[in-house]
Chain A
Amino acid sequence: MSVLVWIEQSNNQAVPSSWETLGKARELADALGTELAAVVMGAETAATAAAAGQYGADVVYAIASPLLAEYRLSAYVAGLEKAVQGAGATVLLASATTRGRELSAAVACRLDAGIAPDATDLRIEGGKLAAVRPVYSNNLLVDITFDGDLQVASVRPRSFPMPVAGDAKAAVKELDLGLGEDDIAEKILDVQPSDGAGVDLADARIVVAAGRGVVEDPEKGFALVSDLAAAMGAAVGASRAAVDAGFVPYRYQVGQTGKTVRPDVYFAVGISGAIQHMAGMSGSKVIVAINRDADAPIFERAAYGVVGDLYEILPALTAELKKRLG
């Protein structure tokens, strides 16, 4: 028996939210009294496998193959299934990145196991995994309980703190993928970055998001929002109103039909706080609202607020932060 966590790699580097999941998995394994196993797949695995030991894994399954150089679902499914069998896993977790969500679900289905997708909390109850996950576009929460021997969940990034790396070493066990190129249905023809530069919204500790208030003078508004974000190393987001106005692409959109974020701090700039927007960011620890309308609903959800013209407040705020944070 063991708790097994897929440590996702991108360009042979571990995806940081995988460590958050591994940190929580350590608690779950201790509660179950089982071993904590990690699995690393890719063209190279050594550095990430060693790091998995430092972040708490007792044993690491490494599946290194040139066929895994690029992520392909069917090849990664085959590898993860081998690791589940090798580890005798009863709980399988992955960070709920796009890949983590599809890979964990595909393996769960193949192994006839239940899955809690995009879970925001996990616990052990009666010797089995139980998960909390948002449904109805973050308007409701539900507890997922499992029947069956294998219990699978993908874990929404930033649901758990980043664990502290120690100097522990895990036993690394190499597994053979056991596939040839002809066994893999998908062929990757090209890979391009899609997000450009900047901090990824899902992983961001701080988000600065712009709404309808910026549409008045979008060029200036987004420049001011970007300046404020840059001063704090924050990611830039937008409400649907700002995206629909056409000044930033859809990938910036936070809300019911966009991305869900849960940063430590969310700056809502010129965002009124429509319920559809709140659905995507209400998991933020602290909301700071900057709005010219003192009656905007965002102030009911925010911890801190400033009423004023964002074109005046933002430059002042950026200047003050630069002064204070260096």
Chain B
Amino acid sequence: MNEFNLKEGSRKNGIKGLIGGIITFIVIPLILLYVLGYLENIIISNASGDIDKDDMKALFKIADNILIMSLIFGIPAIALKTLGKFYPEGNRARLTFKLLYGMYIAFWLFIITYGGIITVDAGKIAASMAGNSSDYLISGLTIVLDVSGLMIIIILLTLLKNIIPIAEYKGARKEYLERMGDSK
């Protein structure tokens, strides 16, 4: 019995997985991109003359890049999610694709958050916020947000979620094999 055979799966469940994947990895990032673009236009058009608009745009660009990367790297996740849903519970192919999906999501999180280290160059914003002092001039400000420790915990939790498909497989395997035996 080849459990990876496409005949083993359910087209209806596969479509459900595909729709779920498209919503998670395409629709939501696109909505967020639209909202960010909208906010960017409002904030920049209302910004005072001293605030450097190019720097403000650069800040929004970081968030845009995260969402664009989540879109690009989300495509394999959609495929894995679809295949994970396509096969029935207790099937080895379902377990395999669900485990691969869990591992890929951990990788996806690492990639879209730049490993948890995000660098922001905000020199011009800092200069404009500091005002026009004759004593000093701010010529650069770099802020490094290091949430790599937090990302490691979140990635570990994501990997820990792989217990669910393993438990599902264990709980449904016997009944799946019985059903397969009956159908022959």
Indicate, yes or no, whether A interacts with B: no
